[in-house]
Amino acid sequence: MNNYICISIPAEKFLKHRELLENKYKKYLVEVRMDKLGYIDMLRDELIRFNDRLILTIRTLEEGGGCNHNPHEILEAYRKLMDIRPRYIDIGIAIDKHLEIKDQAENLGIKVIISYHNPYKTPSLRILRKIYKRIIWAQPHAAKIVTMARTYDDNIRVLRLLAEAEHRIPLTAFCMGKFGRISRIIAPLLGSHITYLSLSEEEATAPGQLTINDYNLIMEVLHR
C-alpha cells in the first residue's frame, strides 16, 4: 500500500504558500482546510490547478475544526468543492448526509475519505473498532481515524487499530496533541495511508501536527 505525505494548510494561508506548494513541495499531496466556507468561491480557480493532488476538507466544530455552519450550508459547500474536481474530498462521519455527499462525489469520479475526528479523547479499542467498521461499511476510497491523546497510552490503542486493519481500504490513523506526536511518527511505519504535515508550527491544522522539516529530519535519522 502506498504511503503519502500531505501538507495540510488552512484555506486563508493557501495563496501565501501557493508558489512553495507548486515548486518545492510539488511531489506531495496538499490538503486545504475549507472550514471557512467563504474561501471556496474565492480560491476555486487557484485550487483547480492543484486538483490532481488536492484533498479538500471541511472540519466542523464537533470534530475540532472551525466550521460552525448548519448542515444545509455544509452540504452545499461540499457540492461546490466537487466542482473543483479534487483528488479527494474528506467527509467527517459526523457530518449530516455524509453518505449522500460520498455518492455524489463518486459519481463525478472524485475519491472520498470518510473520517472520524475526536478532539477530546481517545475512545476504547472496542469503540474504535466499531467506528472503523462503520467507516468501512460505507465503502469509501480511504478511511481516517484521529483522536486526542491525553496520555501516551492512548497512542497504543490507535496504533493497535492500525496494525489490525485489513487495509483493503487504506487507513490513516494517529493521535493529536502533545502526547500524540509519537503516533504521527510511528503510524507511517505501520502502514498509515497519509501523513499530514504543516509548513510551520504556527500554521498547523491540528494539535501536535509535525512540520514537514521536522518530519523529514526524524525520518532521516530512523532510516540511517
List b or e across 1-31, with b for residues whose CB sees 16 or more CB atoms inside 10 angstroms: eeebbbbbbbbbbbeebbeebeeebeebbbb
DSSP labels for 159-174?
HHHHHH---SS-EEEE
DSSP labels for 36-80?
STTHHHHHHHHHHTTGGGEEEE--BGGGTSSB---HHHHHHHHHH
Q: Which of 118, 198, 197 is nearest to 158 (CA)?
A: 118
Parse the chain into domains and list their residue ranges. 4-114+180-222
Chain segment 54-75, per-residue pLDDT in tens:
999 999 999 999 999 999 999 9
Strands 4-10 and 194-197: parallel
Q: Which of 188, 192, 176 is nearest to 215 (CA)?
A: 188
Contact call for residues 6 and 195 (beta carbons, < 8 A): yes
Catalytic residues: 117, 144
Q: Which helix (H) or strand (E) holds 195?
A: strand 194-197
- % of the chain exceeding 70 in pLDDT: 99
Chain segment 152-183, per-residue pLDDT in tens:
999 999 999 999 997 789 999 999 999 999 99
Tell me the C-alpha distance between 19 and 30, whole Å.
13
- Mean pLDDT score of the chain, rounded to an integer? 94
Q: Which CATH superfamily is domain 4-114+180-222 in?
A: Aldolase class I (3.20.20.70)
Q: Which of 83, 81, 20 is nearest to 56 (CA)?
A: 81
Nine-digit cell string for 20: 512553495
Tell me the C-alpha distance between 81 and 108, whole Å.
11
pTM above 0.85, yes or no: yes
pLDDT for 1:
56
Chain segment 87-124, per-residue pLDDT in tens:
999 999 999 889 999 999 999 999 999 999 999 999 99
pLDDT for 96:
86
pLDDT for 166:
79
Tell me the C-alpha distance between 31 and 56, whole Å.
6
Grid cell 503510524 — which residue?
187
Grid cell 483528488 — which residue?
87
Torsion, Cα of 94, 171, 182, 206 (10° steps): -40
